[in-house]
Every structure is written in C-alpha cells, then in structure tokens.
Amino acid sequence: MIRTQLPLIITFFTGMLLIVTFFIPHKPFGDLEQRFLIWYSIISGFTVLLGLDSLVKYHLTKLKKEFNIHSFILLFSLFLTLILGFYSWFKFKTPFALNSPFMYLYTYVIIPLQATMFALLAFFIASAAYRAFRARTFEATLLLIAATIVMLGRVPIGSYIWKGIASFISTIFPKIPYEELAKKEIFALISDWIMNIPQNAAKRGIFIGTALGGIAMSIRIILGIERTYITK
Amino acid sequence: MYFFFLFSLLQFNYFEYVKSYDTPSDEGGSISLEWQIKEEFISEENPIKFFEIYRSEKKEGIFENVGFVLSQYNYYEDKGLKDNKDYYYQIWAIREKDTLKSEIIGPVISRAQWFNKNRFNVLVITIILFIVFLYYIEKARKGERLFIRKISGLDAIDDAVGRATEMGRPILFSFGLGFITDVVTIAALSILSKIAKKAAEYGTRLIIPNYDPIVMTAAQETVKEAYLEAGRPDLYREGDITYLTSDQFGYAAGCDGIIMREKPGAIFWQGYFFAESLILAETGHAVGAIQIAGTTAITQLPFFIAACDYTLIGEEMFAASCYLKPEPQMLGSLKGEDFLKAIILVILIISAIIATLSIVFKNFYFLNNLYELIKNIFTIK
Amino acid sequence: MKNLWSKLATIDRRIIYLLVFIVVALPMIFRMIMPIRVSREVQMAFSEIDNLKPGSIVMISIDYDAASEPELQPMLIAILRHCFSKNIKVILLGHWALGLPLGEMALNQVAKEYNKKYGEDYVNLGYRPGYTALMVGIGKEIRDFFPTDYRGIPIDSFPFMRKVRNYQQIDVLVGLEAGATGDAWVQFAGARFNQKIILGTTGVIAPDMFPYLQAKQIAGLISGLQGAAEYETLLKKAGSAILGMPAQSFVHLLIIIFIIIGNIGYFILRKRR
Amino acid sequence: MILNIIGTWLAATLTLAIFSFLYKDNPFYKLAEHIYVGVSAGFWVIYVWAFDIKPMLIDRFLTTTGIEKWILLIPAILGVLMLTRWFPKTAWISRIPLSFTIGIGAGLGVTASIQGFLIPQIGATLLPLTTINNILLVIGVISTIIYFYFSKEFKGTWKFFSRLGIIFIMIAFGASFGYTVMARISLLIGRIYFLLHNFLNIIP
C-alpha cells in the first residue's frame, strides 16, 4: 500500500505546490521553482552513480563470460578518465585547469569525437533527402518543393540559378527586361516567405497542440491517473 | 523678474521626471526606477552615451554607482536590496561632453508581494484548464462512451513488434535525451509499457540504451512490470536496459554501434531528441529496421518524418497513452483537450473577425477596445 | 534501360556520402574562393586592429565552447593571424572552462605559422570562475586575478606583461561570445573603464549586440561564419570560413541534384509499372 | 609541444575512425565508439560533481548558516535514497525521489506550458485579416489545430481542414529541413579543415 500510494501522494503534492507557488512571489515560495530545480540537479548528481554502476556491471559481465577487447577498452577509458579527473581536481584545485591531464583528454579525445559525430549529419542529411523526398503523394511533393526552394534561397548559387532562369524568361518574353528580373533574389524571397508564413503557421499549430497535450499529461500525472512509472 | 528666477531654478532640472517605486509582484529586495530626460537636452552634437544609477541609504550620504543602462532605455531595476529600508537615488546622464545629474529622489522602500499580478492571465487560464479537464475526466468516469480516431503510428506498433519477431531480431527503444522532468518522457514510458507487453508475449528481446540514469531506472521498472503482466517475468533481463553516457553524441555513437551489431527489426525513437535524431534514424534505416518515431521536439520532426516509417507528431505523443490504454479517465482528459482546442479555434476566429471589423469601421471604438482586451489576455507581462 | 532507372532510384547511400565528401573537400584543397561582400561592422572591427602599432596589446576572451566552435573558432584564428602578422602582443583568457582548450589549440597553431614565442608574443591566462568580479577587477589590477598564467608561471616573468596593470595598457579587447558574457564585457570593461571592445558572436546572439554597436559601446562586430569569412577576406588570408563558403553552395546543389535524379528514376519506374 | 603533436594525431585518428562508419561498421569505428562512451561517461561524472554537487551542495552546505544549511540535507537524502535501487529489498524506496522529480516535471509542465507556449502562441495569432499573409497564417494555425483533433472522425468540412493542416505541416517540415542543411555542412567543413590543415598541413 505505502509502496504505491506514497509515490503518488508525493507527485501530487510536489506538482500542485509548484503550480500554486508559481503565482506567489513572496518568500519562501517565490524561488521554490528555482530551488526544486537545484534539488533535481543534486539528485541527478547522485544518480550518476547508478548510471556508472549499470555501465560497469554490463561490461564486467560481458568480460567475465569471455574476454573481449572492446568492453575492456571501454572500462579502461572510463576509469582512466575518472582517475585523471580526480587527480587533476586534487592537483590543480579544479579538473578543468587547462594544463591538467583531464583537460588534455577532453581536448584531444572528446572534442574531436563530438565534432565528428556531429559532422556525420552532413552526410545523413543528404542521404535522407535523396531517399525521402520523392513525389509519391501530394503532401510529399510539397515537402520536397519547400525543402528545395529553401535550400536554394540560403546559398549564393541560388541567385546564379535565378539569373539563368531570368535570362531564359527575357529571351522568350523580350518585353520583360533581364536586368530587373535578375536583381530579384526570387529563391531567397520565396524561402523567407515560406519560413515566415506557412512554416510559422504550422509550427504554431503544433506548439499549441503540444502544449495542451503536455498540460493534460501533467494533470493526469499529478492526479495519479497516469502511473506507468509506478509498479506494484 | 520673479518668473525668470523660477525658470533658472527649473533649468537646473534636466529631467522631465524621475520615479522610484517598489518593484511590483516580486519577492522583495528590488526597487524600480524610471526617468525621462527633457527634450532640450537631447542633441546630435552632444549625445547621451548612457545613464548611470547612484544609490545611497541617506539623503546626504555618499552615493554609490550601482549600475548603468544604454541611452535608449529609461528603466532600471535595482536588485539585491534589503526590504523595509530607506533608499535614495540619483540618475546621471553621461553625455559625450558632460554629465547631467537628476535631483535626489526618495526615500523609497522595497517589499515582497503575495500575488504576482503579472501572472493574473496565466492564473485564470490555469483554473479554466483544470476545471475543463476535471469535468471531462469525471464525466468519463461515470461511463460515457468516447470516440477516438485512428493514429496510424500507434496502430503500427503491433506490426513492428511482430515483424521483428518473425525476422528473429530484437527491438530497440530509445528515450533520446529527455529527462524524467520532461513530461514527454512519461508519455514515452506509457508507449514503452505497451511495446514491452507485446515483446514479452512474443518472447522478443527488448534493448533500451539510456542517456539519463533516472530515466533508465523508470524504464527498468516499467518493463519489469509489463513482463510480469504478460506472464513472462522470466524473460526480463536488466542487462538489456543499460546506461550508456550523458554525452549527446557519445550516446548517438553508442546507439549506432548497438544498431549495427544487434540489427534490430523494429526501432522506437520516443521522447525528446536534439540534433542526434537523424544520426540515429539514418543508421536504423541502414539496417532495414521498421522505425516508429515520436517527439515533441519540433526542430527534429522533419528528420524523423524523412527517415522513419511512422512519426508521432507533437500532441499525438501525449494522446498515445490514452489511445493505448483506453481507460475511461484517460479518454476523458483527451476529450478535454479537444474541447479546449475548440475554444481556442473560436477565440482565434472571433478575434480575427473583431480585429478586421475594427480596422474597417474605425469609428467603432467598442470593437477596437474589445480587440485590445483579447490581445491583452494573451500577452505575457 | 529499366535497370538504369531503378539504379537512379536506389543509389547506394555510400555513393552519396562519397560525393558529399568530395564536394566539400575539393574546393578546400584547391582553395577555391568565392567573392564575399564585407559588411560595415566587420570592416570596423578589422580596421581597429589594423590601425594598431606593433607592440600594442590585444586581449582575447574565449567565451564559448565546442558547441559554437564551427562559428567562432575561424574568427579566433583570423584575429590571431591578424595580430601576429602585425607583431601585436596577445593575452588570452576565457570564462567558459570547457572553451579554453579551443583557445590553446588556435594559439599553438597560429603561433607556429608566424614563429611567435610563448611569453614573448603571447600568453594564455586561462580560466577563473566568476566573470563579473573578474571583469571589474581587471580594471584595477590584473594581478589580483591572474598572478600567474594557466601553467602557474608568474606573469611578471614575461617581459611584455610587466607593464600591463589594467585596461589602460590593453589597446583592444576582443570578446568571442556565445552567451551572456558579451553584455558583461560591455557593461563592466566598456562602460566603467572605457575599454575599446570588439565582439565576435554566434549568429544567434548577434542581433542582441547591434544596439551596442549603434551606441558606440563596441568598436566592431563579427557575426557567425559569414562574419568570419568577411574578416578572412579583409585579411587576405584564407581560413576555414572562406574556404568553406563555396562548399556550402556545392553541397546544396548536390543534394538538389540527388533529389531530382531520385524523382526521375521513381517516376519512370512507376510509369513502367 | 610533443604532447600537442601526439594529441593532434590522436584526434585525427579518432576523426577518421568515426568517418569510417559511413562505409560500414568496422573495428576502427567500434574501437572509437567504445573509447567515446567510456571517456564521456567518465567525463560526465566529473562534470556533474564539479558543477552540480560541489557548488550546489557541498560548498553551499559549508558556507551557509541557519535553516538554509539544513534544508540542503533534503535533496542530499533524496539523492541517497535513489541509490536504494542497488538492494532489491529496499529498491521501492527509490520511488520517493523518483516521484518527487516526476512531480517537478508535471508541475512545471502545467505553468511553463501555459506561460511559455499556449499564451504567446495564441497571442501572436490574434491578427486582423487584412493581408493575404495574415489570412494564410490564421488559416494555417486553425487547420493545424484541427489536424490534432482526436475525438471526432474526419468527415466533410472537418476532413478538408485536417487535410489542409497536414499540407501546412508538410511545407513547414520541408522548409525546416532545407533550412538546416547549411548548419550541418558547416560542421563537416570544420572537420575536413581540421584534417587538411591541422593534421596534414596541406592548406593554409
């Protein structure tokens, strides 16, 4: 009983307290939101140990079954980082001193790995566009046209292409002067318009829906209707 | 003569006004200042660079510089003060060539308030929302039947789990970078519960790499419970629900590795995602998995739409738990959401009509005032 | 023929990756440069440093971390090159603990290019927590906060640092900003001590910095990768920003071509069916 | 100096190892991935303790006095309770801090959504229908909201608007996709510049 009811009571109390004190600036309620978020940071500081335990246990079990170099490397780099971190903390008073071994590891291991994983997106965005932007349906066609126009509107090559189109138009319709037509950065103009009007409208609609859904979800959690996270 | 004397005294006063007052709707410790410099002291050749704010605890005491603002502002909030204590202020306008000082104003006292007037509209809307939700939940509890339309991404869950089973491949589920304090993570937990139950029925392995340890523990509890409900607690393996790392791209690298080696037949990306979304989804596609994504992160939706088979967009994520677990109360709150949407639609349409009419018929001040009132309600102060 | 169309509709992703790689790398290797229009605020920033006499002192603050590296690191490198080519001394410091390694990397790289020596031509003071106190404090005496450099060597053992006491000896302060520290530099170093400041910022926060430029609180503003490319143009020395600009156009075009090819293949296949 | 050269080699090797993943999963990627997960997990432990636990808990506990000092014990105890998961018998106690954090999320989920999203987004859409752009914007918002209507079957006018909604959504997603390409290419430019300049030294 206490095992399932107590958590629900705590959630209800915490949630309601935050909602009510949102409107009360007077101490001690005014900074309650801030205070609770700091508390959350402190709690998650402890749960880092749970994560560490999970990761180490997983790879130790794997290693016990049979030796594999990758689990070993992972555990080795994990503990090396921890040792260097605490050593640097102790020796330089902060682990983030620039000449500490911990920062060396950060500079030459974490930064390049982070940046390169992030850079993979340049490739993936190309392959995803090629594969997904097919005019299968009317909606899919709109998706691909909007993407193409905005892409052209963002880079100088878009205006070169437009100049080509403009000269084509003015050869067919000599009445339209090339100069004036070429000056209009049509792709940039349309792309700005798409971003400002239809893009903005849909985003707003999604935001409003998501906000309502999130509020309903929060109220369900506070009232204890939504309780997947609490088991018997 | 007398007039001239008065005038020269006034000329000493460079400021149109200088006001100081307790900052309203705050937790105390703060005084607000407003001022306006007289027009004749604003010139092109000797422009104001910025205003400096000086403060003292005694009128004849030493004034100390407490801050400055650029010349285009005429408002300053002095913070970190003691409540119920007298303060005096002086504003200096620092010009290119000289400095103009205002008269000393005060005493002024700072206090804390019990209600934040700036949030009055938020309070009203919060109360309305609570009433609507409670009403519909209560109505549903009494047994009213409610319709809910098809959400194709959710119907596909069973097929995806089934297909992974047929192929003899595991299922991968990820919460992305969401924390437990993001409500979307709780919505994802509900979806996970459904998937875990199906996986337990079919006896298919379920792998969940995690970014946040607290979310990991919640996932372990949820899956364990789902396996128990499906009558297969023997299949539950805690080693499949592990923590990876709390580094955004380290998590992506780890997930990519798991996808490549375990070759899951079905992948669920449910929760809050950032730029790593496409790295994950493209890798999932490369191994030929059925992918069902769902997120409220609006910036990442385009990438999931491009790379995944089904995507739950924003609010559909939250509707999912009602859809998957059609308890009356859940459906009631969904009905409440829809009722609120209808109200919003009405507000948008009516205010558009009023606003348009108030421009067409400029003389009807009533329309104009009404439009201003509606706009005022939906403004954050 | 049918085979060709179906191939166009299902190009292997690795071919796409290879082409993206080539289209980015080749213009850089062959140093292809597209003309870039220089904006007034970058010109102002450039002139400010360009007009300094040899031996002047520039202080650069690294107020960003790896997340903003693509935008701000090219600026840092360009400004360091500018300073070193004019024999201007550089003092580096920063308010983001995790950003300083980026500063150190850039210093090592550019110092090697211009044969500059640590301690004679530049120093790296490192990171100290609490930026407000530090910014105000440097106005009085830099040694109160940085008695030593980041390695613990007393700054008085470096000849050019001996005469640096506070902002008065620093000719230009360059803040490379990804957050709120830019405002703080303007408020504390600029307004209180009349320090001449140039800001280089990410594209996102640049609009917030323009009022400072209008109020002449800062002497120049470089914003985003575009700003970095403009600075490199003025410097007449190509760096990653200017070398990367053509690649942007080509990759965009490449992706659009792929979309078109994919759709042609898809439509012809569908008609056949 | 020699350390810098070793570091650059290390960084370049890791960069290439990650890029090799684009061809296919291979031992180099696998190695780099395990190093990355290990090092970054260790890094975050130090980071969280240096930036959260030490300044927010330990330093504050040592410097503040009176009631504030003892209030700090609450989150510390909640944090320790999280660790009861290690022992099956006491594991249920960890639900206390868990439900507290979920309560924080739910509480903020109400007020922050109303103040941060609902009010400003509705407020920005209260427009007079005097320009085509305004008309499109209002219709776009309305039809997108209708698309998210769950308790009604899409038929007739309703179906028309929900379809209009999905059209707006698709244009929006296409546009955001196209808009993001530039930022992603910048990242690759940065990496290739690192390889060509810092590592191979073949471009300026």
Distance separating alpha carbons of residues D29 and D128, to the nearest angstrom:
57
CB-based contact A225 B329, cutoff 8 Å: yes
CA A187 to chain centre: 29
Closest of D137, D159, D157, D132 to residue D147, by C-alpha: D159
Say if residue A49 is exposed, middle or buried (CB neighbours under 10 Å; 0-12, 13-18, 19+).
middle
Domain B12-108 adopts which CATH fold?
A: Immunoglobulin-like (2.60.40)
What average pLDDT does chain A have?
Answer: 92
Strand partners, B292: B268, B310
Partners of residue A136 in chain C, C-beta under 8 Å: 266
Buried b (16+ CB within 10 A) or exposed e, C144-157: ebbeebbeeeebee
Mean pLDDT of C138-157: 88
| Contact residues, C window 138-167, toward A, CB-based 8 Å cutoff | 150-151
With b for 16 or more beta-carbon neighbours within 10 A and e for fewer, the C217-240 pattern comes to: bbbbbbbbbbbbbbbbbbbebbbb
Q: How far is C13 from chain B (nearest CA, A)?
A: 9
What does the alpha-carbon distance between residue D204 and residue D195 come to, in Å, rounded to a whole number?
A: 12
Chain A interface includes D8 (CB < 8 A): yes
Chain B residues touching A210 at Cβ < 8 A: 296, 298, 314-315, 318
Structure tokens at D183: 């930022």
Cβ-Cβ contacts under 8 Å, A16 against chain D: 107
Q: Is the pLDDT of residue A162 over 80?
A: yes
Counting one residue from chain B and one from chain D, the pairs whose CB atoms sit within 8 A come to 169
- Average per-residue pLDDT in chain C? 90
Q: Does residue C213 sit in helix, strand or coil? A: helix
SS3 at position C105: helix
> Distance, in angstroms, between B74 CA and closest chain D CA?
26
Q: What is the pLDDT of residue A61?
A: 94
**Of the candidates C196, C187, C227, the residue with the CA atom closest to the CA atom of residue C68:** C227
Please tell me the distance from the alpha carbon of residue D173 to that of residue B306, in angstroms, as a whole number.
9
Distance CA A75, CA C118 (A): 38
Mutate to test the interface with A, among D70, D168, D189 (most CBs of A within 10 A): D168
Q: Does B299 touch chain A (CB under 8 A)?
A: no
Sequence length of chain A is 232
The pairing of strands B64-70 and B48-56 is antiparallel
Helix (H, G, I), strand (E, B) or coil at B287: coil
Domains of chain A, by residue range, sit at 133-195
Question: Terminal CA-to-CA distance of chain B, rounded, Å?
Answer: 50
C-alpha to C-alpha distances, B23 to A56, A213, B28, B83, nearest whole angstrom: 53, 35, 8, 11
Residue type, B344: I
D64-77 residues labelled b (16+ CB within 10 A) or e (exposed): eeeeeeeebeebbe
Per-residue pLDDT, A181:
84
Least confident of A4-13, A83-92, C211-220: C211-220
Nearest-by-CA chain B residue for A228? B190
CA–CA min distance C53, chain A (Å): 31
* Superfamily for the C40-241 domain: MTH777-like (3.40.50.10160)
Chain A (177-216) residues lying within 8 Å, Cβ to Cβ, of chain B: 203, 206-210, 212-216
Digit-coded pLDDT (tens) for C213-224: 887 889 999 988
Mutation choice for C interface testing from D180, D185, D187 by most C CBs within 10 A = D185
Closest residue in A to B276 (Cα) is: A118
pLDDT beyond 70 at C1: no
Give the tens place of pLDDT for each residue, D60-91: 899 988 898 999 999 999 999 999 999 989 98
With 60 as the cut, is the pLDDT of residue D39 above it? Answer: yes
| Largest CA-CA distance found in chain D, in angstroms, rounded | 74
Q: Supply the pLDDT for residue C50.
A: 95
| Structural domain spans, chain B | 12-108, 117-144+329-377, 152-325
Is C29–D203 a contact, with Cβ atoms under 8 angstroms apart? Answer: yes
The phi and psi torsions of C62 (rounded to 5 degrees) equal -90, 95
- Report which secondary-structure segment, H or E, holds C197: strand C197-201
CA distance C7 to B182: 44
Run of H or E including C58: strand C57-63
Q: pLDDT (tens digit, 9 = 90+) per residue, C67-86?
A: 788 889 999 999 999 999 99
How distant is the Cα of D42 from the closest Cα of chain A, in angstroms? 5
Reported ipTM:
0.92
Of C76, C240, C81, the C-alpha closest to D194 is C240
DSSP string covering B38-92:
-GGG--SSS-EEEEEEEEESSTTS--EEEEEEETT--EEEEESPPTT--EEEEEE
D126 CB within 8 Å of a chain B CB: yes
Residue D86: strand, helix, or coil: helix
User: For residue C16, which residues of chain A lie inside 8 Å, CB to CB?
Assistant: 123, 126-127, 130
Grade residue C2 by pLDDT with cuts at 50, 70 and 90.
low
Of B1-10, B304-313, C139-148, D20-29, which gets the smallest average pLDDT? B1-10
Q: How confident is the model at residue C105 (pLDDT cuts 50, 70, 90)?
A: confident
pTM for the model: 0.91
d(Cα C170, Cα C56) in Å, to the nearest integer? Answer: 8
HEC per residue, chain A: CHHHHHHHHHHHHHHHHHHHHCCCCCCCCCCHHHHHHHHHHHHHHHHHHHHHHHHHHHHHHHHHHCCCHHHHHHHHHHHHHHHHHHHHHHHHCCCCCCCCHHHHHHHHHHHHHHHHHHHHHHHHHHHHHHHHCCCCCHHHHHHHHHHHHHHHHHCHHHHHHHHHHHHHHHHHCCCCCHHHHHHCCHHHHHHHHHHHCHHHHHHHHHHHHHHHHHHHHHHHHHHCCCCCCCCC
State how far the Cα of A193 lies from the Cα of D171, in Å rounded to an integer.
Answer: 12
Kindly report, residue by residue over C107-123, the tens digit of the pLDDT: 988 998 899 999 999 99
> Which of C98, C187, C194 to mutate against chain B (most B CBs within 10 Å)?
C187
Of the options 1.10.3470, 2.60.40, 3.40.50, 2.30.30, the CATH number for the domain spanning B152-325: 3.40.50
Chain C residues whose CB is inside 8 A of the B71 CB are 215
Which of D185, D188, D193 lies closest to C243 in CB terms? D193
Angle CA(B229)–CA(B230)–CA(B235) in degrees, nearest 5? Answer: 110
At residue B7, does pLDDT exceed 60? no
What type of residue is D53? Answer: I
Please give the DSSP secondary-structure letter assigned to residue D51: I
Which residue of A lies nearest to C124 if distances are taken between CA atoms? A98
Q: List all chains that touch chain A, counting a touch as 3 or more CB pairs closer than 8 Å.
A: B, C, D
**What distance in Å separates residue B276's CA from the closest CA in chain D?**
11
Distances (CA, A) of C55 to A92, C51, C83, C234: 33, 12, 10, 21
| Chain-chain contact of D152 with B335 (C-beta, under 8 angstroms) | no
Angstrom distances, CA of residue A219 to CA of B128, B136, B340, D109: 13, 12, 14, 9
Per residue in B110-169, pLDDT tens?
999 999 999 999 999 999 999 999 999 999 888 877 788 888 889 899 999 999 999 999
The answer to whether the CB of A166 falls within 8 A of the CB of A182 is: yes
Give the closest-approach CA distance of B189 to chain A in angstroms: 7
